């Protein structure tokens, strides 16, 4: 205690507080080289302080520094969403549904492909999302529906292209022993999870290329 409340103790605390405050301010604005230098400086200063302080206060200061550095480095900036169009398959429920809502909230132009455009999931997307979001009837095992969805997307994005396609639609086969699963189940799994995703990808690749977009495949070890 005595060591901590001595003059160097207070100096350490003040400087650490000032550097910590600066990091937080930098975090709010765009982070760059200056932020990194501040973190390094804070680290060096913290190290110097540790040599002077008692073990107890040294540990507290060290933990605090770790927390600050962690907060600083985990702050990721998202790319701006403006004008970017995204197609997500399997938007009726689950991850695809939640992702459609989330990206719409962030400002993306979302095309949510659904297995049943009259179903409750599709209805909810229409009800809760912005006008930018389009719900498209898209059974990924149905070539005609893929073609129709493609025409609609192309018409809407014009020359903008697609920034991302998320192959999310999928079915979880019977979670049981391989010997007990009927062949129809294997075939259904391949039809949706594999050939469906391939056909969607092939159809939308030209639009993805146009905007140098990305393809995201979601799959599962279980299928």
Ligand X SMILES: NC(=O)c1ccc[n+]([C@@H]2O[C@H](COP(=O)([O-])OP(=O)(O)OC[C@H]3O[C@@H](n4cnc5c(N)ncnc54)[C@H](OP(=O)(O)O)[C@@H]3O)[C@@H](O)[C@H]2O)c1
Contact of residue 31 among ligand X, ligand NAG, none (CB under 5-8 Å per partner type): none
Contact of residue 139 among ligand NAG, ligand X, none (CB under 5-8 Å per partner type): ligand X
Among 134, 128, 74, smallest CA distance to 105 is for: 128
Contact of residue 217 among ligand NAG, ligand X, none (CB under 5-8 Å per partner type): ligand NAG
156-215 binders of ligand NAG (CB under 6 A): 167, 197-198, 201, 215
Question: Applying CB under 6 A, does 83 fall inside the site for ligand NAG?
Answer: no
Question: Applying CB under 6 A, does 142 fall inside the site for ligand NAG?
Answer: no
- Residue 193 per-residue DSSP state: I
Question: Applying CB under 6 A, does 23 fall inside the site for ligand NAG?
Answer: no
What span, in angstroms and rounded, lies between the C-alpha atoms of 215 and 159?
19
- Order of strands across the sheet that contains 164-167: 134-137, 109-114, 85-88, 164-167, 214-217
* Residues forming beta bridges with residue 75, ordered by sequence position: none
* Token pair belonging to 156: 């809407």
Cβ closest to ligand NAG, residue 14 vs residue 217: 217
Contact of residue 96 among ligand X, ligand NAG, none (CB under 5-8 Å per partner type): ligand X
* Token pair belonging to 202: 């092939």
Cβ closest to ligand NAG, residue 3 vs residue 219: 219
Burial of 120 (0-12, 13-18, 19+ CB in 10 A): exposed
What span, in angstroms and rounded, lies between the C-alpha atoms of 62 and 31?
23
Cβ atoms of 104 and 128 within 8 Å: the answer is no
Query: Least Å distance between CB 91 and ligand X?
Result: 7
Residues forming contacts to ligand X in the complex (CB under 6 A) are: 89-90, 92-96, 115, 138-141, 168-171, 192, 196, 218-220, 223
Query: Least Å distance between CB 138 and ligand X?
Result: 6
Site of interaction with ligand NAG (CB under 6 A): 167, 197-198, 201, 215, 217
């Amino acid at each position: 205690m005595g060591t901590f409340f001595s003059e160097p103790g207070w100096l350490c605390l003040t400087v650490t507080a000032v550097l910590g405050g600066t990091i937080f301010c930098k975090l709010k604005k765009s982070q760059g080289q200056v932020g990194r230098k501040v973190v390094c400086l804070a680290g060096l200063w913290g190290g110097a302080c540790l040599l002077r302080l008692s073990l107890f206060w040294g540990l507290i200061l060290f933990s605090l520094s770790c927390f600050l550095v962690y907060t600083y480095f985990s702050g990721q900036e998202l790319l701006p969403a403006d004008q970017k169009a995204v197609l997500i398959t399997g938007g009726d429920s689950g991850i695809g549904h939640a992702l459609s809502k989330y990206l719409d909230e962030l400002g993306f132009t979302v095309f949510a492909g659904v297995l049943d455009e009259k179903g409750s999931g599709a209805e909810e997307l229409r009800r809760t999302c912005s006008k930018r979001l389009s719900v498209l009837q898209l059974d990924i095992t149905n070539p005609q529906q893929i073609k129709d969805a493609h025409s609609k997307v192309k018409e809407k994005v014009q020359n903008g292209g697609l920034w991302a396609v998320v192959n999310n639609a999928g079915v979880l086969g019977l979670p049981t022993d391989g010997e007990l699963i009927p062949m129809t189940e294997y075939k259904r799994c391949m039809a949706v999870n594999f050939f469906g995703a391939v056909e969607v990808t092939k159809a939308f690749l030209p639009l993805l290329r146009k905007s140098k977009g990305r393809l995201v495949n979601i799959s599962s070890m279980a299928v």
